[in-house]
Amino acid sequence: MLRGFVAAFVMLAVLVAFTGSRARGGESPLDDADRRAFTWFDGLSIPSCAGKKYVRVTWVRKSPRPDAPPAERLWETDGFLLAENAKHRTILDADQIARKVTLTDPDWTTSITPLDLAATAEAAAARLRAMKDDPGAIEPIEAIFHGVRRLLGDEAQSLALAKHCAENKLDAQAHALLEAARSVAPTTPGKPVAPLEAAAAAQLVVPLMRRMVVDIGDVEMPRARLVERLRAWRKCFADSPHVARADEAIRILEPMAKEDAQHRAVADAALAKLAPAAQAKELVFRLRDQTGDIVDLRRGAAYLDLDRGDSPVERLAALKFDAVPALIDALTDARFSRAVLFRLDETLDRQFVARIGDVAHVALERITQQKFRDVTLTLPSMFQDGSAAATHAKWVAWWKETSAFPAALATIAAEPDAARRAALARALPDRGTGRLGGASDATWGTKSFTAAVPNLAPEAAKSLLCVVIAESPHPRTKALSAWALLDFGDESSVGSMITAWRAMDDAARGNPEQGGAVISFLAACGRAEAVAALADGLDARSPSVRELVVLALADRGFGAVRGFAADRPDGISERWSLTDAVADAVEDIVAARLTDLDEDPLGRIPRQFPICDSIPSFDCGRRIADAATRVLARRWPTRYVLRDEPVRSDTEWESLRVGFIDAWAAAKAARKPR
C-alpha cells in the first residue's frame, strides 16, 4: 500500500512542478515538498480553514456531583471555528473532525476562547524537535491540542495544522512544522524516506472514512456533498481495503441526491390535509432522513433506537394502521436512512448505516406490536444478514391475515352450529394488538370491535368473544378478546383468563408476546383474584415468568418494554380503579421479588432507570430483584424512599434493596384488615 502512495505522490510532484523555495527577500519559505504535501491534502475534501478563528471550546458542568472526576466537570477541545449560529458552533478539531458544539445544553455552560494559531504551531514544532533529541522527554500531544482523541499520528496532525497555517498566511510556521515532522519520520535502512504525506495517508484513511459514515447521519449534510467527499476520498486512497465501502455508498447516495433535488416538498400544513394513505407515502419518503443509533440490551440483544420528536417514524406511528401498507412496501428498500449504527465507535468495524427498510420495520413494530425479526449486536440490519426479503414475506402474510380477521369473526358470529363455531375459532390466526377494523386509532375496545363486526348486537358480540377466549390456541388472542369482553362490561373474562393462565405451561407463560399478554391482562384488569392468580406459585415458576410479572406490575407505561406491553390495549375504557386490596396484593407480589437474584433471563430489564440516569456510567443491576426495587420506588415513592442523591455504587444499591425489604415488612404490619 505504501508503494502505491509513494507512486501517487511522485505523479503529484510532476503536476505541481514548483520552482523551489522562496525563503529569501520576504518570499514564502514553503518549498516544493511542502507544496506537494498541501496539494495532496487538498484532495482529501477536509474543510478549508482560511480566515477561520482558532479557538478553544470549554464545557463546564453546571451542577457536578461532589466526587465527580475532572472529565465529568470540565471538557475542552481546540479547533477552527467553521460556522456558527444561535444554537451551535461547528469546530474542526485536531483530529480533522467537524464537530457541532451545542450552546443550549441545560447541564453545561459552554464558552469559546480565541487561541494564537502561530504560537500553537510553533509549540507543536518544538515538541517534535524535542522528540528527535530525547524521545523519553516528549511532551504529550494533549498539551498542544486540547481535546485531541489520538485518532491521528504526529505526521497527519502536523500536516493538517501546517496546511491550515498556510491557509491563514502563516507560511513560516507551516514550513517549520513540516520540517520538524519530517525529522522524526521513521526510516528503513537502504530505502528512501517516504514523503510525509505517505505516513499521513496511512493515518487518515480510516478516520476520514469513518467521519463520512457518521456524516451520513447528519440531516444538514446534503447527499450530493457526501458523494463529492466520497469520490475525493476514493481518489486519494485507491489502494485502501475500504474502497468497496466507498463505492457502495456512492452507488446508493448518488441517485438519492438526484431524488432529493427532484422531489416536490410537501409542507406540513398541506400534508395534514391529505388522505392517510397519501400522508403515509410522503412520510415513507422522509424515512431517508430518519436518525438514530443502536442500543445494547446485553447478551447480544439490541434494538434500533430511532430519534423521536417530530421524526418520520413517529409521524408514521401516529397514523397507526393506515401507514402499514406503505411501510410493508418499504421493507426491502436498501437505500440509506440517516440512522448510523455504532456511530460513536472510533473504528469502522461495526459502523453501519441502517437502511430505509430497517427503520420502516421499527415503525411497523411500534404500530402493530408484532415482532418478526430480532435485532442483534452482530447483525443489527436486515441487509447485513440477508433477511429483508424473508421478513417482508412474513409481514405480507400477517397483513393479509389481519385484513381478513374481521371477516373471519363475522363468519364465526353467523355460524349457528356450536361445534362449527368452536372449530372456526380454533382456526383463527394469532392477533397482536392491531386493528380489528374501523377507525385506525382503536383496537380491541367496544367501539372497534363493533366496527369490525357490524350489525352485531352486544349479547351476540359477548358470545362471540367467549367462544374465541375458550377455543383460540393463542394466549395473546385470548387476552385481547378478554379485554374486549371486559370493555363490554362482562367480568367473566377475568375468570376465563385465570383458568387459561393456570392451564399454560411455563414455556408459554414466559413468552413475552404470548404469556406476557395474559400477564398484562391479569396485572392491569384491577381484580384482586387476577393478581392472586399471578402470585400463586410464582416462586416456583421460571425466571422469565417472574421477570414479566414484575414488569407488568409497574406503573402504566413504565413496564412496557420492546415486544411486551404491560398496559391495556388501545380503545379499552379506563373505568377500573385500583382498590386498596388490589394495591396491597400488587405491592406484596413485587416486594416478594426483592430477594429474587436471578439475572434478567429475557434481557428486557432496562439498563438505565431514572434514579441513575444522571450517572450514566453506573448500571444499578438487571436482576429481577433490581427491577422489583425500581418498581416499588416508582409506585410507592413515599414508602420506598430514594435519597436525593443518585445511587452511585453496587454497595449503595444493595443497601437500598435491603432497606426496601424492611419497609415492606413495616407496611404489612401497619395494614388495616381489608
Express each pLDDT in 570-598 by its tens digit: 556 655 567 888 889 999 999 999 999 99
pLDDT in tens, 252-304: 999 999 999 999 989 999 999 999 999 999 999 999 999 999 877 655 667 78
* Own/partner long-range contacts of 370-377 (Cβ < 8 Å, ≥24 apart): 370/395, 370/398, 370/432, 370/434, 371/513, 371/563, 372/398, 374/301, 375/294, 375/301, 375/302, 375/303, 375/304, 376/300, 376/301, 376/302, 377/294, 377/296, 377/300, 377/301, 377/302
Extract the C-alpha cell encoding 214. Answer: 457518521
Quick one: average pLDDT of 137-146? 65
Amino acid, res. 447:
K
21 vs 52: CA distance, rounded Å: 27
Extract the C-alpha cell encoding 571. Answer: 380503545
Torsion of CA 220, 222, 227, 229, to 10 degrees: -50
3-class DSSP assignment, residue 338: strand
Extract the C-alpha cell encoding 147. Answer: 481535546
3-class DSSP assignment, residue 145: coil
Q: Is the pLDDT of residue 390 over 90?
A: yes
491 vs 638: CA distance, rounded Å: 33
3-class DSSP assignment, residue 83: strand
More confident: 354 or 150 = 354
Extract the C-alpha cell encoding 352. Answer: 453501519
Dihedral sign for Cα 594, 598, 604, 607, please.
positive
Least confident of 88-97, 236-245, 385-394: 88-97
More confident: 211 or 187 = 211
Quick one: average pLDDT of 614-633? 72
| 195 and 6 Cβ atoms separated by less than 8 Å | yes
Cross-sheet strand order for the sheet of 108-114: 98-102, 88-93, 74-84, 54-61, 108-114
Give the pLDDT band (50/70/90) at residue 249.
Answer: very high
320 vs 325: CA distance, rounded Å: 11
More confident: 632 or 24 = 632
Strands 88-93 and 98-102: antiparallel
| 372 and 398 Cβ atoms separated by less than 8 Å | yes
Q: How far is C-alpha 385 from the geometric centre of its chain's CA atoms?
A: 19
Residue from 48, 61, 1 nearest 615 by CA: 61
Residue whose grid cell is 380503579: 577
Quick one: average pLDDT of 629-656? 79
101 vs 214: CA distance, rounded Å: 16
Least confident of 28-42, 219-233, 292-306: 292-306
How buried is 649 (Cβ within 10 angstroms: 0-12 exposed, 13-18 middle, 19+ buried)? exposed
Residue from 327, 426, 371 nearest 565 by CA: 371
| 134 and 246 Cβ atoms separated by less than 8 Å | no
172 vs 23: CA distance, rounded Å: 9
Identify how many contiguous H helices and E strands the chain contains and give both numbers: 28, 9
314 vs 367: CA distance, rounded Å: 10
3-class DSSP assignment, residue 59: strand
- Greatest mean pLDDT among 439-448, 473-482, 560-569, 609-618 lies in 473-482
| pTM over cut 0.75 | no
How buried is 540 (Cβ within 10 angstroms: 0-12 exposed, 13-18 middle, 19+ buried)? exposed
| pLDDT given for residue 530 in this prediction | 94
pLDDT in tens, 91-126: 998 888 888 888 787 878 888 899 999 999 999 999
Strands 336-341 and 291-298: parallel
What residues contact residue 423 under an 8 Å CB cut-off, 6+ apart? none
3-class DSSP assignment, residue 202: helix
Strands 352-355 and 54-61: unpaired
Residue from 375, 377, 383, 318 nearest 357 by CA: 383
